[in-house]
Structure 1
Amino acid sequence: MTPAARLQATIELMHEVDSVARPADAVVSAWFRARRYIHDIDRGRILELLYALLRHHARLGWWLGRHGREDEPRNRLLAWLTLKEGRTLDQVKRLFNGAKFAPAMLTDHEHALLLKLQGGTIDHPGMPEEVRLECPSWAADPLRRRFREAFGQEMAALLTPAPLDLRVNPIKATREAMLRALKDLGLRAEVSAMAPYGIRVHERPSLASLPMLKNGEVEIQDEGSQLVAMLVDARPGERVVDFCAGAGGKTLAIAAQMNNKGHVVACDVMEGRLKRGAERFRQAGLHNIETRLLAGETDRWIKRHKGGFDRVLVDAPCSGTGTWRRNPDARWRAQEEQDLDKLVSLQARILASAARLVKPGGRLVYATCSMLSEENENQVAAFLAAHPAFRAVPLREAAPRLTNSSHPDYLSLTPARNDTDGFFAAVMQREGALAGGPPIAIRGPFPE
């Protein structure tokens, strides 16, 4: 594709992302599946530009609003080319030339906009801090309360591209073998800093080019997500529930911990997610997983299995603030303060219901990919106050080798501090007969 054709493709893809209520990654995947003729190199450049535009959404919108222009894909791209790439008016005209597959020629209004933007940069001293840091207004105060003086640092980290992390499936492969295989593909990769089965790839390969991904030897999973699954500490022969399993990323890690022995129930309220998860389970060679479609957090299945499980993971639906660098569009989907209140209430109901499944001496792990205290430690404190049969298991007891958490008792990871997605996890134990076994042994190397 020519540079102009890639710009036009990006405009069309942005329109698609803007027009549907699905996450950008799902839209992008479907869009490219319908255009298999686009080569990998062109796909990579289109994606790179698309996600750069998404990460600069508020700032580009601010500039367009400043000059009375509509915040829509073509205007956004024109502002980007001028303010971020430093293109001159003549250079932009040559790209927007109206040729076949290229963007239409500039209108008089667009020409006037570019003249006003010439010589500017993407940041401006008149921008509010929330705009400059791409932080939606509904999340700004909760995040400031959480991070205080580190607010700017953490928000800046969320504007960087997320790394590609893989989790090796020990049922099918070893980390050493996968590192060699990645090297043979010409990729730079190294062991993760904290996760014992993690690999960080320092490239942006086409995922279709990774045979180990197709055959279930590895899964794409952020290192923080891997650590949450490790905290479940599932042992071979136990009975485990992944209560909000989704498409099964953490379920896979838990079942592999158990060496295919025992029983894992992957629950969700979305049938499509469970079907996708079941396909991944088969590909990974895991046979100890059952999928269970629930009608909601009060499904009768929960009552019938009360006190029947050694480990229960509640990876609760949340605001997703910890995933913003991976899903930059997520921060701009409709989310108001009252919706956060509703979300916190839903989390509390889910947690209370899932807790009924834990046997005496068993453990309940509550996790989110949020960095808001309202969804994390405050949620846990409220649960423990209302459920005296449970006690918090401090991180130093549950996983003494995990020393780089920003919370003394719970797993708390952030992009700026840990170079992972933002994650929170709390381990709680139901009082009664003690669950056997030592704390989980997460191998190093570990950060100082």
Structure 2
Amino acid sequence: MTPAAARLQAILDLFTATEAERRPVDAVTSAWLRGRRDIGDEDRGTILDTLYDLLRHRARLTWWLEKFGREANARNQFLAWLVLAERRPAEEIKRLLGEEPQDGSLLNKLHGHTIEHPEMPEAVLLECPAWAEPSLRARFGDRFAPEMNALLTPPPFDLRVNPIKATREGALKQLAKLGLPAEPTPLAPHGIRLAEKFALSRLPALKTGEVEIQDEGSQLVAQLVDAQPGDRVVDFCAGAGGKTLAMAAQMNNKGRIIACDVNEGRLKRCSERVRNAGMHNVETKLLGSESDKWVKRKKLGFDRVLIDAPCSGTGTWRRNPDTRWRDEGGLEHLTALQSRILASAARLVKEGGRLVYATCSMLPEENEAQVEAFLKAFPAFKLVPLAEVAPDLPQTGDYLSLTPAQHDTDGFFAAVMTRTPA
């Protein structure tokens, strides 16, 4: 097998694996690549770039296959991609990838076409799934198309400098020495944006905890918490701890952060990152559910509570294009869970303390509607307008509302609330 043929077969094998499994694509690709140490960095980059291109064109590829009465399986989607996007001749594809029954007929039917067609519905052209389309149209109105188009572009590669161990200036100099063009992020004070992708093994600072991979929007959400040295803070849905680490650094390693989650594996990863970053003010807490008895025991005990709620992830579709086709459990299930989490975690906030509710979603049902319902049900809390707490951030109304098209970050929402004195 030639190198070109091996590369194509590897792409097809990985794409087939991602289609067959229900795990997130990044987890599938990591496991798949770990088992193939013989694939070099350059080929890995090509394989992953092509995989993500396939995922970003899934609706359009499926439309073409349905037009010609073909199943939208991984092989057929890949064949369609090679013809429609890469413009490869049928004979070249068959020579490099081999030929199975019906391949030739499909390749011939696709020949001469491009990946977009005038008859495609707008939602197909924009890769917007039916379950999210009504809400996103309501959210963006006339900006629906440009916002959806922005979600089809590869995301920037952002880092956050850990000020406990390094400075942004020093990190930029290190990147320059490594031949990795970078610049400060426009909004986040400790952020760095890389001009191009690179093999993570090239950056020792990732291993030493001097920098972390974190989208600028995520950094800004952590900044809104405004955790101060000596504060008692809860990161209620901490996951692997990206925002936990950012807040711990804000606190200059003083005070106490409790990183909570219902997933033991995520908390284990959080603990590893905390140690690597040199943070001593973080502990983890495994919860049985959002209404764990620990919450009741610790009520009114914290200065700051961040809820980075589980959500549809519509704001991360640039980064995780597979998730737009995973409506697992439905939006109603998610919004009900968000409501329960918000009501439960709010008990932890002391009088005068700050509650920040955030998602990486751009759907009103998960964002503004959740906050408005919570404030109506819990009059002890009031909304603090964004201009009062963060006048230097993009002013998007009372809430922080970031989008890829307008701010070149992932889509993030955050609301700042405070518990008023009794």
TM above 0.5: yes
Amino acid at match of 2:77: R
Contact 2:185-2:192 within 8 A present in 1 as well: yes
Contact 1:179-1:190 within 8 A present in 2 as well: yes
Question: Over residues 334-382 of structure 1, what are the superposed CA-to-partner deviations in whole Å (9 max), with x where a residue is unaligned?
Answer: 347xx21121111011001000000000000000000001110111011
Moved more, 86-95 or 277-286: 86-95
Contact 1:246-1:274 within 8 A present in 2 as well: yes
Aligned partner of 2:283 in structure 1 is: 290
Q: Equivalent of 1:416, from 401, 405, 421?
A: 405
Alignment identity in percent?
65
Amino acid at match of 1:76: Q
Q: Equivalent of 2:316, from 293, 303, 323?
A: 323
Question: Over residues 385-427 of structure 1, what are the superposed CA-to-partner deviations in whole Å (9 max), with x where a residue is unaligned?
Answer: 111111101111011111x24x311110000000000000000
Question: Over residues 98-149 of structure 1, what are the superposed CA-to-partner deviations in whole Å (9 max), with x where a residue is unaligned?
Answer: xxxxxxx223411011111111000011111111110110000000000000
Aligned partner of 2:194 in structure 1 is: 201
Residue 274 of structure 2 is aligned to residue 273 of structure 1: no
Question: Over residues 229-261 of structure 1, what are the superposed CA-to-partner deviations in whole Å (9 max), with x where a residue is unaligned?
Answer: 000000000000000000000000000100000
Aligned partner of 2:18 in structure 1 is: 17
Q: Equivalent of 2:414, from 421, 425, 436?
A: 425
Normalising by structure 1, we get a TM-score of 0.93
Task: Give secondary structure in 1 for the equivalent of 2:305.
Answer: strand
Amino acid at match of 2:64: W
How big is the shift at 1:150? 0.3
Task: Give secondary structure in 2 for the equivalent of 1:26.
Answer: helix
Amino acid at match of 1:321: T
How big is the shift at 1:196? 0.2
Contact 2:383-2:416 within 8 A present in 1 as well: yes
Amino acid at match of 1:288: N
Task: Give secondary structure in 1 for the equivalent of 2:164.
Answer: coil
Aligned partner of 2:203 in structure 1 is: 210
Q: Equivalent of 1:392, from 383, 389, 392?
A: 383
Question: Over residues 135-167 of structure 1, what are the superposed CA-to-partner deviations in whole Å (9 max), with x where a residue is unaligned?
Answer: 110000000000000000000000000110000
Residue 40 of structure 2 is aligned to residue 39 of structure 1: yes
RMSD: 1.0
Query: How many Å separate the matches in 2 of 1:301 and 1:334?
Result: 31
Aligned partner of 1:110 in structure 2 is: 103
Contact 2:219-2:243 within 8 A present in 1 as well: yes
Task: Give secondary structure in 2 for the equivalent of 1:275.
Answer: helix
Query: How many Å separate the matches in 1 of 2:162 and 2:4?
Result: 40
**Which blocks of at least 5 consecutive residues in structure 1 are unaligned?**
97-104, 434-448
Aligned partner of 1:167 in structure 2 is: 160
Contact 1:138-1:335 within 8 A present in 2 as well: no
Question: Over residues 24-69 of structure 1, what are the superposed CA-to-partner deviations in whole Å (9 max), with x where a residue is unaligned?
Answer: 0011011111111111011000001100000001111111111111
Query: How many Å separate the matches in 1 of 2:49 and 2:346?
Result: 43
Query: How many Å separate the matches in 2 of 1:31 and 1:180?
Result: 34
Q: Equivalent of 1:229, from 222, 227, 233?
A: 222
Amino acid at match of 1:422: G
Query: How many Å separate the matches in 2 of 1:187 and 1:417?
Result: 26
Question: Over residues 76-98 of structure 1, what are the superposed CA-to-partner deviations in whole Å (9 max), with x where a residue is unaligned?
Answer: 111011101111222223322xx
Query: How many Å separate the matches in 2 of 1:368 and 1:162?
Result: 18
Query: How many Å separate the matches in 2 of 1:44 and 1:365?
Result: 37
Query: How many Å separate the matches in 2 of 1:169 and 1:8?
Result: 40
Q: Equivalent of 2:348, from 357, 360, 370?
A: 357
Query: How many Å separate the matches in 2 of 1:136 and 1:340?
Result: 13
Aligned partner of 1:369 in structure 2 is: 360
Query: How many Å separate the matches in 2 of 1:158 and 1:225?
Result: 17
Amino acid at match of 1:64: L
Task: Give secondary structure in 2 for the equivalent of 1:356.
Answer: helix
Aligned partner of 1:80 in structure 2 is: 81
Task: Give secondary structure in 2 for the equivalent of 1:62.
Answer: helix
Query: How many Å separate the matches in 2 of 1:69 and 1:208?
Result: 41
Task: Give secondary structure in 2 for the equivalent of 1:412.
Answer: strand
Amino acid at match of 1:268: D
Query: How many Å separate the matches in 1 of 2:8 and 2:153?
Result: 22
Aligned partner of 2:240 in structure 1 is: 247
Contact 2:131-2:327 within 8 A present in 1 as well: no
Task: Give secondary structure in 2 for the equivalent of 1:138.
Answer: coil
Query: How many Å separate the matches in 2 of 1:269 and 1:73?
Result: 34
Amino acid at match of 1:398: V
Normalising by structure 2, we get a TM-score of 0.98
Query: How many Å separate the matches in 1 of 2:120 and 2:235?
Result: 44
